[in-house]
Homo-oligomer: A and B are copies of this chain.
Amino acid sequence: MDFQHSPRVIKLQAELTTFMQEHVYPNEALFKEQVSAKRWISPPILETLKAKAKAQGLWNLFMPGLDHGGIGLSNVEYAPLAEIMGRVFWGADVFNCSAPDTGNMEVFVRYATKAQRDKWLPQLLDGKIRSAYLMTEPGVGSSDATNVELSIQSEGDEYVINGRKWFATGAMNEACKIFIVMGKTDPDNASRHLQQSQVLVERDTPGMTIVRPLSTFGYWEEPAGHAEITFDNVRVPKANILLGEGRGFEIAQGRLGPGRIHHCMRVIGAAQRALEFACKRVETRTVFGKKLSEQGSVRESIAVMASKVEMCRLLTLRAADKMDRVGNKEAADAIAMAKIMVPQLGSEVLDMAIQMHGAGGLTEDYFMAEAFNYARWCRLADGPDQVHMMALGKQVIRELSAT
């Protein structure tokens, strides 16, 4: 039992913190300005920062192992670094560690053919292109993957794709060149988990239309965006299938562990920063003759916020550690705990920090409202809280009722 990070991690934390202070925070306003001017392309300042980060070796830190751009960090080593990146909504992009690309790169590593991997992975690892992962559909409860309706029909040496997806995060960005699409190749298979397949679709494939971006709480999250996309007789070669027909569900299962933890760590970073903002704020505001920081109710709130951030951090680190030790599947319970608790508690901390900033806390003058939006949609990303609670509850009952 040891709650200290390794020297290597401590060094990386320091480097990232310095990088954020010197390069990222000072450019938050500029980033916003540039994406406002041109919504769906990566803003120049982001590309500049990516180059700097890559030059310093702060690049692809998320990637497990050493073979594919990573520096060999475990999940528990990466977690505190993702936290730092998460202090700015687009922070992870700077270090080529953003969702859904990290998960997609892992898919290429684990499930792609050599040809598929050779074609796409180097560009992704290099930060030249972005990718999307198309799971959710507007018409069905997609947290139950067996509900997916998009059709992938075999015709000769091609697949013909028809259907509609939405919440394809990142897909609005023009740099997003490759789409991993989940659909049904065998909708009548008696096994509901063998009906699905995942295929690769390149941007600009005829018949695929990016219909519109979707806002969440008024945010459009440029330049990534969440896209709604239709498929109208879209044809791709059979070589574009991942792993094989009927194995889409299997890929979906395998993909999700680390991504969830990364989301958690970034939310924690945002919550930690909000706590810091709140502390500075209450130290400098005076109401009814007394500094806010001297008011008991403010101190109580800060204490609760700090405790919640710490609980989130520990829960997430423990999940990361368990993934490292016993694998993502065996760590499903620990991952679920973090997935359930962190976005919820993180939202609460952000909400309290907003409140302490008065009406200004709701505006884009501060990062908190946008971060709240992020924490809030994390409660729906990769399935709503309720689905994870059901699964975790079922597992816990099974295990503990047998003791």
Contact = CB atoms under 8 A, between A and B. Distances in A.
A88 to B, nearest CB: 16
Nearest to A322: B3
Nearest to A321: B3
Contacts of A226: 359
The A interface, classified by DSSP as helix, strand, loop or mixed, is helix
Given A286-B141, A364-B215, A296 B297 contact: yes
B216 A389 contact: no
Contacts of A301: 393
A359 B300 contact: no
Contact of A377 (B284, B296, B318, B362): B362
Contacts of A298: 296, 393
B283 A397 contact: yes
Interface string A38-65: 0000000000000000000000000000
B359 A147 contact: no
A287 B141 contact: yes
B296 A136 contact: no
A71 interface: no
**Interface range on chain A: under 10, 10 to 19, 20 to 34, or 35 or more?**
35 or more
A360 interface: yes
Given A217-B372, A293-B394, 6 more contacts: A4-B325, A280-B401, A297-B300, A299-B389, A299-B392, A303-B391
Interface of A: 1-6, 9, 76-77, 136, 138, 140-144, 147, 166-167, 214-220, 226, 275-276, 279-280, 282-288, 292-293, 295-304, 306-307, 310-311, 314-315, 317-318, 321-322, 325, 333-334, 336-337, 340-341, 355, 358-365, 369-370, 372-373, 376-377, 379-381, 384-394, 396-397, 399-401, 403
